[in-house]
Structure 1
Amino acid sequence: MTNIRDLAREADVSVTTVSRVLNHHPYVADDKRKAVQDAIRKLGYIRNQTAVQLSTGQTKTIGVMLPYVDHPYHAAILQGIARCAFEEDYRFLTWQTNYVESHEQTVLQALAQREVDGLIIVSHSLAVEDILKYEQYGPIVFCEHHADVSAVYIDHYTAFQKGLAAFQSLGHTEIGICLGRPDSTNSLARKRAYQDTVACTPSEWIYEHSLTIEDGASIARHWLSQPRRPTALLTASDHVAAGIILELRKRGYRVPEDLAVIGFDGSDLAVVLNLTTVAVPYETIGREAFSIAISDTWRDHPQIEIPTTLLNGLTANPAVNER
């Protein structure tokens, strides 16, 4: 196997010069840099990444823990991480955990064993205090709000209030909400916003475990079966909103005339359906989280709140005046 000494002989330069070229050192004469690059091509040199890691103490790799890679929310954050990693000449490893705590422990062990330089946690099931025990091995950055941790997040309480206020401005008082995991940090903040903002919040108008288009369709069918129904639904995502709308249209109901719906994400689906949505710049969350993970700022536990925007596609709802 070709090593840097072989390259030095072939290029007629010192081993130090070869090392500088391989590490993109700026102070190398052009003719010597070219000689080394020619030797690399001629001898088919492949860099031993393990040796590099041992010498630098870095893997140039960031780990990403997320429950599902195919969920639009998680995928959008991952896109931001991926683009930032490319720009910074880093690699990233993605672990899908399905919210299984033993799988999350495996990811944390990878940080402890120096398989990655740092860890970005998009969403998790383990308690925060259990995760932070591993911070001694490297940076851990959360993509949701927790006290005293490095975090890039949106204020789900305020974001949900924006959607609820939009309904109220149209005269809705009977409003329901859709949540994902009922006990997650984000869902608890959304539920608190609902209870603080809306006067009538019966438990049967809180639709939980809603993540996908199929979940939205199921919620629409459940809504149809209820003897007393809300006139408006603020959903957990644009995909859930799409499932509700498509299922109701299939059954001859009109949106927003029979049920007003607001999404959450600001995805392309919202544009296609002319759907009012709480837009979240998820890619920005991913980029900011990556920037913290590769810098020393994580030691100060920075907290960066990313603002949300209400994108209005909703028209006035005649059903409000009919009830």
Structure 2
Amino acid sequence: MATSIKDVAREAGVSIATVSRVLNDIDVVNEDTKKKVLDAIKKLGYRPNIVARSLKTQRTKTIGILIPDISSQFYPEIVRGAEDVSNIYDYNIILGNSDFDIQKEKEYLRVLKEKMVDGVIYMSSSLQEEILDLINELDITTVLVETEDKNGKLPSVTIDNVKAGYEGTRYLLDKGFKNIAFVGAKKDGKNAWNDRYIGYEKALKEANLEIDKELLYLSNLKAKNGVTAVESFIESGKKIDAVVCATDELAMGVINGFRNHNISVPDEVSVLGFNNNYVGEIFYPKLTTVAQPSYDMGSVAMRMLIKLLNKQELEEANFILPHTIIDRESVK
């Protein structure tokens, strides 16, 4: 037979109302009594009825996290950072994977609202106006990660992707490379990968170099698209010194694509990745990359969300974390 709140009250020698106040973290219970109740809960293995509790408090202590690609090595590290913080504050996680599909994103947001989550950490391939409208309509407290709301309505945690794309390209230019290709996602969305392309374009223009459309491959972010990009570049017959990739997965695909044509990286072509996924360290050649602090992005986002849920003011609504270039072996 399951332990009830009455059993906890009897074990602790207090009223049911006192146990309820402790469970709901209401600060009218003195520390000695609170300890008695918590000890009784632990001894009896009592687990409160979340639904009943949420009806009283209007809180479920549950956070939804929406990611665009669960197979990517980047997003799980963000989730880990968020979950570690949520555990500290006794929040549970519901995880959704949208597969870069805006309809799935919208459906997940509706489901999370039905599940009465307290808030959402949202990662997406692009932040379309219809998504912003839906978040507003559903009235879900939301913090964005990696994507920024250009209207400034939603708080976010990002790096400066334009600057990171610029500095990554500048890093290659400073090594003397001039024929620099770019592999990334379609540049019509309001997303991090578009911003990285903008940074790439800015660096080339600053160096008085033309943007060669035949050295651009914009599709999606799977490794196989990196292989396909190389086929496109080789077919064009254009000389390539180096390639800037919007993700590490793309960079590894690009390296394998060159390998298929017996073109050596970095001896003949240099390749720069983005994100600093752990596989990049054991891939051959080890990947030179622009690193995002993915774990920190998740933990900062969760702390921001919990502050909002507790009606606390944010020191910074749009938190920009630092990026770094990690020099390994894929750039000569």
TM-score calculated relative to the size of structure 1: 0.85
Measured after TM superposition, the shift of residue 267 of structure 1 is 2.0
* 1:145 has 2:148 as partner: yes
What is the CA–CA distance in structure 2 between the aligned matches of 1:117 and 1:187, rounded to whole Å? Answer: 29
What is the CA–CA distance in structure 2 between the aligned matches of 1:68 and 1:133, rounded to whole Å? Answer: 21
Two-structure CA RMSD over aligned residues (Å): 2.8
Measured after TM superposition, the shift of residue 82 of structure 1 is 1.6
After superposing the two structures, state which structure 1 stretch, 117-126 or 152-161, moved more. Answer: 117-126
Distance 1:285 1:103, change over 3 A: same
Distance 1:197 1:7, change over 3 A: closer
- Secondary structure of the residue aligned to 1:230 is coil
Gaps of 5+ in 1: 318-323
Measured after TM superposition, the shift of residue 114 of structure 1 is 6.1
CA distances 1:241-288 after superposition (whole Å, capped 9, x unpaired): 122223323442211122111111112233223322101111111111
What is the CA–CA distance in structure 2 between the aligned matches of 1:197 and 1:31, rounded to whole Å? Answer: 60
What is the CA–CA distance in structure 2 between the aligned matches of 1:275 and 1:256, rounded to whole Å? Answer: 10
CA distances 1:92-134 after superposition (whole Å, capped 9, x unpaired): 1111122333322223324544611111111155624642553
**What is the total number of aligned residue pairs between the two structures?**
314
* 1:229 has 2:239 as partner: yes
Gaps of 5+ in 2: none
What is the CA–CA distance in structure 1 between the aligned matches of 2:119 and 2:243, rounded to whole Å? Answer: 39
Name the structure 2 match of 1:161. Answer: 166
1:253 to 259, 263, 266: 263
Measured after TM superposition, the shift of residue 58 of structure 1 is 0.7
Name the structure 2 match of 1:116. Answer: 117
Name the structure 1 match of 2:327. Answer: 312
Whether the 8 Å contact between 1:101 and 1:126 is mirrored in structure 2 is no
Name the structure 1 match of 2:20. Answer: 19
Name the structure 2 match of 1:277. Answer: 289
TM-score calculated relative to the size of structure 2: 0.83
What is the CA–CA distance in structure 1 between the aligned matches of 2:90 and 2:178, rounded to whole Å? Answer: 52
Amino acid in structure 1 at the alignment position of 2:270: A
Amino acid in structure 1 at the alignment position of 2:169: L
Query: How much identity, in percent, do the aligned residues show?
Result: 26
Distance 1:240 1:30, change over 3 A: closer
Amino acid in structure 2 at the alignment position of 1:236: A
CA distances 1:12-42 after superposition (whole Å, capped 9, x unpaired): 532234335545766234884487347725x
The correspondence of residues 262-273 of structure 1 with structure 2, limited to 5 A, is: 262-272=272-282, 273=285
- Secondary structure of the residue aligned to 1:173 is coil
- Secondary structure of the residue aligned to 2:157 is strand
Amino acid in structure 2 at the alignment position of 1:226: S
Q: Which has the larger radius of gyration?
A: 1
Name the structure 2 match of 1:320. Answer: none
- Secondary structure of the residue aligned to 2:185 is coil
What is the CA–CA distance in structure 1 between the aligned matches of 2:100 and 2:287, rounded to whole Å? Answer: 30
Distance 1:115 1:192, change over 3 A: same
What is the CA–CA distance in structure 1 between the aligned matches of 2:20 and 2:238, rounded to whole Å? Answer: 73
